[in-house]
Chains A and B, each alone.
Chain A
Amino acid sequence: MAHPHEQEFTELIDQHRGIIFKVIRLYVNHEEDERDLFQEILFQAWRSYPNFKGQSKFSTWLYRVGLNTVLTFRRRPKLVVPHEDLSVLKVSIDERVQPEETEALYIAIRDLNELDRMIVTLHLDGYENEEISEISGLTKNNVAVKLHRIKETLTKKMKAY
């Protein structure tokens, strides 16, 4: 028998599934892993759903669950993005006459370590440093320092492409 809130939860996920796709696209490369991670995020969100009391927007809450899941789930060797894949992408970009800045940004973000990737994507999505600090577990000052460094790195890399 279905749980009384399952329908409501499924509808909310359906409306916000783009957030899950975004998290997955940023951390995982292979189709099988994408599906595994999609299911894992759904499972973890469902587990935590009874604690969602609406203090934040559902999208913010789901973003946090998704990022936290991907960060802790990534330890399986096959889920780690192989560095060669990034090199291949980079070569394909380099071969173009005028590489798109968005593609360059994608590669540059994927080249960051997982924690930095989390911090910068939250920042680019409009989250305040305080919220990023709360989600990541780093202090607010650390977030600010790291963000400054990451943004510098990304800008340099984008210019280099």
Chain B
Amino acid sequence: MDLKEAWKKLESDKLSKPVLGSVHIQKKSKHPVQKLILLFKATLGFAIAFELGFIYLFIVTPQPIVKVFMVIMIITYAFFFVLNYKVLRNIQHSFRLDLNLKSTLKQVYDNTMSTLAFQRKSSIIIYPLAATAGFLLGLSIEKDAALMMQKWQVQVALLISILILTPASYYLAKWMEKVSYGKYLTQLRDLIDQFDKEEEDSI
């Protein structure tokens, strides 16, 4: 019996055996890319919550210097919301399992990696601004923040806060990124590597 003959027999004997389960479309998926899509949606949700918080603080705070920093935070979060939304749309659009698998996975992987890398780099500028905004907000509860900032002791305290909070927030975000996205990105990378390896082996 040749391969094709054996295959035909195998198909009718064994491979056509039904799998238990009804043809009912569930709206949940365990696919790694689907999980990445969910994470991006969660990020957008958090961005909206923070944005609303900053808008609220902008409205309730009477001090102009605090308002300025709240505006900076509102603009920053709006920018990252748009960025993440675009990436989400892009992934949703490009992730199709009826197309070439390797290029689909590569597109999703590259897109996610470049966005996360950009966010990580940008955070080095954003964290000091966020720390300053928080510091000024704290000062404004009891005193005039602008007036307080003229004291050298307060300026040193702000500088120390920035020096501690910026790297701490950076590494915390990096760790959180690894915990949430890491597993799924590793799965995608492994698959892409396997395709590359198979291609190299055949040359």
Contact = CB atoms under 8 A, between A and B. Distances in A.
Interface string A36-48: 1111101111111
B198 A146 contact: yes
A115 B198 CA distance: 8
Interface in B19-60: 19-21, 23-33
Size class of the contact patch on chain B: 35 or more
Interface of B: 1, 3-4, 6-7, 9-11, 13-21, 23-33, 96-98, 100-105, 187, 190-191, 194-195, 198-199, 202-203
Contacts of A125: 7
A159 B65 CA distance: 83
Contacts of B203: 142
A92 interface: no
What are the nearest 10 A-B pairs in CB distance? A137-B102, A142-B202, A68-B97, A124-B7, A22-B15, A48-B98, A102-B10, A75-B187, A105-B6, A102-B9
Interface of B is mostly: helix
B198 A42 contact: no
Contacts of A9: 25
Contacts of B30: 36, 40, 73, 76
B3 A124 contact: yes
Contacts of B187: 72, 75
Contacts of B3: 105, 124, 151, 154-155, 158
Contact of A105 (B7, B18, B32, B97): B7
A89 B6 CA distance: 18
B97 A69 contact: yes
Contacts of A13: 23
A43 B25 contact: yes
Nearest to A48: B98
Contacts of B194: 115
A68 B14 contact: no
B23 A10 contact: yes
A17 interface: yes
A51 B98 contact: yes
A87 interface: no
Given A10-B23, A25-B14, A38-B21, A73 B31 contact: yes
Contact of B6 (A40, A42, A102, A146): A102
Contact of B96 (A17, A18, A51, A151): A51
B25 A6 contact: yes
Contacts of A17: 18, 23
Interface in A1-54: 6, 9-10, 13-14, 17-18, 20-22, 24-26, 31, 34-40, 42-48, 51-52
B100 A102 contact: no
Given A25-B15, A39-B26, A145-B202, A65 B32 contact: no
